[in-house]
């Protein structure tokens, strides 16, 4: 199953980001902590290569913490600074703000050496759609300044947000890359709700989720989903879950469409427990 999602407004978003990069000092790229490498937009990193780049892991409360530590180490080995944040309870907020200030130090010193006043650092916040940018911005400011929503790909215009006297943030629309080359990566992006729902079949992604659970955390199948035998084919497991949850059509047939939708929702909201995909 091939998954690709690059709607027309992405071209506009790319142009907007390219234009606005001239106005900022650094770029914060948000990544879903559950699959930071799968939602890493290399095109975006190339565009921002002349700026300081900081990676921010969002939704860390939904990821396996042991995997998150490994992911951070891999980025740091590339020389890329990484921050983590739980935007729902603000854990990590102070550390992210300090990381911005520390990254700007060298540039601020150059300003002083030239006899210039050190102005507020201008920071672009970017990433793929639905990675949590709006919630992140609201968390840093401490109040609702950016609209949040569950639909990926809603383009917003340029928006400057002052966090404090020395930090200004620019919100940007979510940006995908034109073609997803790897099928497994595409399924992860669908599972994370990063690509639009028209790009995939929920049945296929639900089967993929069951396969991931078998491999990475079978206890979720046993304890959360109450499956007694996890060694069955994924299609049969899905039927079993439908029956266990009472999702039935006329005649007692499993309503797998309903089960798929709710199963994906449960994963995305963290109701199945912490799970990392990369």
pLDDT of residue 65: 94
pLDDT of residue 147: 56
CATH code of residue 155: 3.40.50.300
Are 163 and 49 in the same domain?
yes
Percentage of the chain modeled with pLDDT above 70: 94
Residue 189 in any domain: the answer is: no
Are 39 and 153 in the same domain?
yes
Residue 274 in any domain: the answer is: no
Residue 241 in any domain: the answer is: yes
Q: pLDDT of 104-122, one tens digit each?
A: 988 888 888 898 888 889 9
Domain span at residue 119? 9-171
Distance of alpha carbon 137 from alpha carbon 160, whole angstroms: 11
Rounded to 10 deg, the angle between the 234-244 and 202-216 helix axes is 100
CATH code of residue 261: 1.10.1580.10
pTM of the entire predicted model: 0.90
In eight-state DSSP terms, residue 63 is S
Phi–psi pair at 228, nearest 5 degrees: -85, -40
Residue 237 in any domain: the answer is: yes
Structural domain count of the chain: 2
Residue 47 in any domain: the answer is: yes
């Amino acid at each position: 199953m091939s998954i690709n999602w690059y709607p027309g407004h992405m071209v506009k978003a790319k142009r907007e980001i390219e234009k606005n990069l001239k106005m900022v000092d650094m770029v914060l790229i948000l990544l879903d902590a559950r699959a930071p490498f799968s939602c890493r937009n290399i095109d975006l990193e190339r565009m921002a290569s002349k700026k300081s780049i900081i990676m921010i892991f969002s939704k860390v409360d939904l990821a396996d913490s042991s995997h998150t530590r490994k992911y951070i180490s891999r980025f740091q080995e590339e020389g890329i600074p990484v921050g983590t944040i739980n935007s729902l309870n603000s854990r990590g907020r102070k550390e992210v703000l300090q990381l911005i200030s520390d990254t700007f130090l060298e540039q601020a010193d150059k300003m002083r050496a030239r006899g210039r006043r050190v102005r507020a650092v201008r920071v672009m916040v970017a990433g793929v759609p639905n990675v949590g940018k709006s919630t992140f911005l609201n968390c840093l400011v401490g109040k609702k300044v950016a609209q949040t929503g569950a639909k990926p790909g809603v383009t917003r215009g340029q928006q400057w947000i002052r966090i404090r006297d020395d930090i200004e943030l620019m919100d940007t629309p979510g940006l995908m890359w034109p073609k997803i080359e790897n099928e497994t990566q595409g399924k992860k992006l669908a599972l994370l709700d990063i690509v639009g729902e028209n790009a995939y079949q929920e049945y296929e992604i639900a089967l993929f989720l069951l396969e991931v659970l078998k491999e990475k955390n079978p206890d979720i199948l046993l304890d959360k989903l109450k499956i007694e035998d996890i060694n069955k084919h994924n299609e049969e497991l899905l039927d079993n879950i439908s029956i266990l949850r009472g999702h039935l059509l006329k005649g007692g047939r499993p309503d797998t469409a309903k089960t798929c939708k709710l199963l994906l929702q449960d994963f995305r909201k963290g109701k199945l427990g912490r799970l990392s995909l990369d």
